[in-house]
Amino acid sequence: MLLITCPWCGPRDETEYHYGGQAHVPYPENPAELSDAQWAEYVFYRDNPKGPLAERWVHSTGCRRWFNVLRDTVTYEVLASYRLDEPRPGGNR
């Protein structure tokens, strides 16, 4: 079981949270101008790296706030957790 630190409540068991997939996926700036292929990218395509992944979690049975976690998808080590208005630790997204 993962031990995830909510930025507001502190470290809690994975079972208190729900997973929200890849973080830092911005809504298209000019939606009306997107091609079908670009819409497909936005709606269906997400990174799936072997290694660090920035992802969203919600503390559903706690404060119910969303935040981001940087987690290694091979070791499952939680490398960082941070608020939505903070940049991905270590740069690049």
Which residues are at the interface with other proteins (CB under 8 A)?
1-2, 13-15, 18-19, 21, 36-37, 39-41, 43-46, 48, 50, 53, 55, 71, 73-76
* Distance of closest approach, residue 60 Cβ to other proteins, in angstroms: 11
Alpha carbon of 23 to those of 4, 19, 33, 35: distances in Å?
A: 16, 11, 23, 23
For Zn ion, the binding residues in 49-68 under the rule CB under 5 A are: 59, 62-63
* Distance of closest approach, residue 48 Cβ to other proteins, in angstroms: 4
SS3 of residue 59 by DSSP: coil
